[in-house]
Amino acid sequence: MQIMEAIRRITYSPVVGACLRGLGLRKVMQSAYARLRGNPGVLRLSLQGVEALFASRTPHELRCVEGAFHSEKKMLGGVLSSLRAGDVFLDVGSNLGLFSIFAAKVVGPKGTVVAFEPETIAHGRLAENVRLNGFQNVKLFKMALSDERGKKRLILGDPEAVSQSAHLAEGDGPSEIVETADYDGLIEKHSLPIPCVVKMDIEGHEFAALRGMRGTLSNQLCIALFCEVHPQDLPNGLRVQDVIALIESFGFDSLHAEERFVQVHVMATKKQGRPD
């Protein structure tokens, strides 16, 4: 078990991953890893005493699930520690549903998870993982959150990569047109709840999405925000400090920012804590 964990950590190193891509060995190594590890088709993951199931039918899906869990474990642990049974959790940029699935277990049948994922393949994996766990408390939206309703181009990431990186932008390469909306507007249109905890990971579009949920995040019911900021993907003229200043303007008075590889992870909370 210790040997397998050591192999897992080495193979998920960004440096090792870059070398394998450069040598054209990514698929070969994914298949070899799946044979060595054993791929049950359904992966059972556990964190802080919470267990969740994820589809892993192929070597690539196995790597996607394990890669997300390995890289997001610290933030995921923070989210789970912030949630209680009956809470509402908002997952912006849900991808395959790592945060949504674990959160749905924690908030339970009396709680709600609202998940947004615009990319077609990722949204399909998210929906499958919701079905696999038998959840009835997860609301799925195939759209991107922004500061306005409309249509935008979603530039697709590398389909063979472990970490998906689809992002809203104008540019060349494979893409799809997706619907966008502001969460404040969706609250009224779809009678969506105010979340207690929010997680956001949307590859550089976070400033616009945060601006589109000013009312939501300023509400006293919303007590925690976990946001990944992608400096290299922010629109021209915007800096990480601008995103942080916007977050502080919503009344989050306790804020911790930590650099992680090329990202900045921001955890913001409100001192008044959870309303009674």
185-234 tens-digit pLDDT = 999 888 999 999 999 999 899 999 999 999 999 999 999 999 999 999 89
Tell me what pLDDT residue 160 has. 59
Tell me what pLDDT residue 33 has. 61
CA distance 157 to 207: 20
Using CA atoms, how far residue 220 sits from 121, 207, 233, 257, 273, in Å, is 35, 21, 30, 22, 9
Q: Where are the domains of the chain?
A: 1-38, 67-269
**34-77 pLDDT tens trace:** 566 666 789 999 999 999 999 998 888 888 898 899 889 999 99
CA distance 195 to 90: 6
Tell me what pLDDT residue 38 has. 62
Tell me what pLDDT residue 223 has. 97
Crossing angle, helix 59-82 and helix 98-107, to 10 degrees?
A: 40
Whether the predicted pLDDT of 89 surpasses 90: yes
Whether the predicted pLDDT of 275 surpasses 80: no
User: What percent of the chain has a predicted confidence (pLDDT) above 70?
Assistant: 80
Minimal CA–CA distance to 48: which of 85, 8, 90, 77? 77
**156-165 pLDDT tens trace:** 876 656 556 6
CA distance 173 to 208: 23
DSSP 94: -
What is the secondary structure of 16-78 as a DSSP string?
HHHHHHHHT-HHHHHHHHHHHH---EEEEEEETTEEEEEEE-SHHHHHHHHHHHHHHHHHHHH
Q: Which fold has domain 67-269?
A: Rossmann fold (3.40.50)
Tell me what pLDDT residue 59 has. 84
Whether the predicted pLDDT of 20 surpasses 70: no
pLDDT band of 111, cuts 50, 70, 90:
very high
CA distance 151 to 178: 6
CA distance 219 to 271: 13
Residue 102's H or E segment, with its range, is helix 98-107
Whether the predicted pLDDT of 169 surpasses 80: no
pTM > 0.85: yes or no: yes
Tell me what pLDDT residue 19 has. 62
Using CA atoms, how far residue 144 sits from 131, 169, 178, 186, in Å, is 22, 12, 7, 12
Minimal CA–CA distance to 197: which of 85, 276, 122? 85
Q: For the chain, how many residues are written?
A: 276
**245-265 pLDDT tens trace:** 999 999 998 999 999 888 999
Tell me what pLDDT residue 130 has. 98
CA distance 260 to 149: 32
For the purposes of burial, counting CB atoms within 10 Å of the CB of 194, is it exposed (0-12), middle (13-18) or buried (19 or more)? Answer: middle
Structure tokens at 227: 């946001």
Mean pLDDT of the chain: 87
Structure tokens at 89: 């959790």
